[in-house]
Amino acid sequence: MSMIKKDFSAIAKQKLINRGVNLDDIANLVFDLQKPYCPTVQKDACLEAVENVLAKREVAFTILTGIELDMAAEKNHLNEMNQIILDDYSLYGIDEIMALSIVNVHGSIALTNFGYLDKTKPGIVGFLEEEGKKDNICHTFLDDIVCAIASSAASKIAHDYEDNKI
């Protein structure tokens, strides 16, 4: 099937940019997470780690699914669930669970950092949350996806540092 041959990673990257998320913004989160543990880490290594996370097809699928749900909520297409998702209702939680599909393939360092970013909302994560409060802008899935990409890239940096690749 030709569908399988689509470059979903490239599409996911472009959709992130369309939704206001630059890869540099994510790399900045990674840098701030890992700098205390990997003092020699550079921003370009963080950006490369982000690119590596995005290169996985299953990561691209999660990004594309989450963004579609955010956009569907903005268009009021989600029936009974629309208001819950549009308002990022605190007891909803499916946004975090979906993002864990990215975190789960990157180990325990990714998992702990994901919880940290979700709680503290630094940089682009806080920006997305604030923007998402505006009328008809929904970042319910996107903010968790960004946390998941950053925490997964942070895990890659930690492992590369330990292996003396950084």
In the complex, the residues that contact Mg ion under the rule CB under 5 A are: 95, 140, 143-144
Judged by CB, which is closer to Mg ion: 52, or 104?
Answer: 104
CA dihedral 100, 104, 105, 107 (to 10 degrees): 130
Judged by CB, which is closer to Mg ion: 47, or 149?
Answer: 149
The vertex-148 CA angle with 119 and 70, nearest 5°, equals: 90
Closest separation between CB of residue 143 and Mg ion, Å?
A: 5
Closest separation between CB of residue 71 and Mg ion, Å?
A: 15
- Are 28 and 43 spatial neighbours (Cβ–Cβ below 8 Å)? yes
Closest separation between CB of residue 81 and Mg ion, Å?
A: 14
Judged by CB, which is closer to Mg ion: 34, or 140?
Answer: 140
Closest separation between CB of residue 117 and Mg ion, Å?
A: 11
Judged by CB, which is closer to Mg ion: 12, or 125?
Answer: 125
Closest separation between CB of residue 165 and Mg ion, Å?
A: 33
Judged by CB, which is closer to Mg ion: 109, or 146?
Answer: 146
